[in-house]
């Protein structure tokens, strides 16, 4: 029987990630295979679960719900600030960092009436993600 990936293994995968409408949001195509430790808290739960038990060369497609990906949007991470508290040249869609050790990033979602609306949720929060995965190696 072929070796299969287990928690703690260093694995390499090729993948394509898609949104529910089929839009590709990320892919390893044209790049080196993505390497990570299976079972690591740095990888979304659904990806860990998908890779564990796969054999080298195996391919699969998995649908990962928000609770196993980037979670649901948190309303407490959507804030309003006075426009004079952000750089002058900021536009809707721009990313800002709060400059603290936490490294919280914010996306400007609105600029209205002297206020900016900032969203600190992961851009894929609330999304069901589909990944086409091929396990390239187990180290």
**Domain with residues 75-119, CATH architecture:** Beta Barrel (2.40)
Q: Encoding tokens for residue 58?
A: 């195996």
Taking only the tens place, the pLDDT of each residue in 58-90 is 999 999 999 999 999 999 999 999 988 888 889
Q: Looking at the domain covering 10-71+124-138, what would its CATH class be? A: alpha beta
Residue in the structure block whose two tokens are 């050790």: 101
Quote the pTM value: 0.82
User: Is residue 17 predicted with pLDDT exceeding 90?
Assistant: yes
Q: How many CB atoms lie within 10 A of CB 95?
A: 11
**Domain ranges (residues) in the chain:** 10-71+124-138, 75-119
Percent of residues, the chain, with pLDDT higher than 90: 81
């Amino acid at each position: 029987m072929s070796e299969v990936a287990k928690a703690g293994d260093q694995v390499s995968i090729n993948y394509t990630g898609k949104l529910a409408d089929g839009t590709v949001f990320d892919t390893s195509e044209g790049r080196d295979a993505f390497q990570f430790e299976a079972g690591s808290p740095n990888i979304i739960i659904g990806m860990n679960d998908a890779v564990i038990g796969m054999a080298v060369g195996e391919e699969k497609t998995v649908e990962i719900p928000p609770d196993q990906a980037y979670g649901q949007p948190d309303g407490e991470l959507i804030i309003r600030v006075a426009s004079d508290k952000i750089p002058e040249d900021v536009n809707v869609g721009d990313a800002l960092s709060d400059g603290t050790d936490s490294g919280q990033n914010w996306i400007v979602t609105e600029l209205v009436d002297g206020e900016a609306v900032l969203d600190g949720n992961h851009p894929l929060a609330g999304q069901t993600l589909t990944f086409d995965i091929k396990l390239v190696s187990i180290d």
